[in-house]
Amino acid sequence: MGSVTLTLEEYERLLEMVNSVPQNTGAMALLDAGTTSSAKPRKKVSAYNRKYKKAFKKVSGKYRSKSGKWMKNGFKRAVKEAHKVAKK
């Protein structure tokens, strides 16, 4: 690749041209427009999901070790029991 050398005057003119361009043009304007339109409303949490969440928190302690890790098949059993409790 060849080397490019600029004189001091050419370099200063190049900096002036870059600084004279407004900041909200080009790619920045596209990025700003994309972030505002991507906000979606949240879905409403169902009554069953609230009951299941509460039941899972209550039941999960039985299936964890003292260190807080899940026992063997503990998560699977906790999910099953939480569904059972939430259905009542």
Could you read off the pLDDT of 31-84 as tens digits, one per residue? 555 555 578 899 999 999 999 999 999 999 999 999 999 999 999 999 999 999
Give pLDDT, residue 69: 95
Give pLDDT, residue 84: 95
Q: Do 33 and 64 sit in the same domain of this protein?
A: no
Q: Do 33 and 51 sit in the same domain of this protein?
A: no
Residue 3's CB is within 10 A of a number of other CB atoms, namely 4
d(CA 8, CA 16): 12
* Single pTM value for the model: 0.53
Full domain range(s) for residue 71 = 47-87
Among candidate residues 55, 47, 48, the one with its CA nearest the CA of residue 82: 55
Give pLDDT, residue 32: 55
DSSP string, 17-36: HHHHS-TTSTHHHHHHHHHH
Residue 2 lies in a domain: no
- The amino acid that residue 19 corresponds to is N
Residue 53 lies in a domain: yes
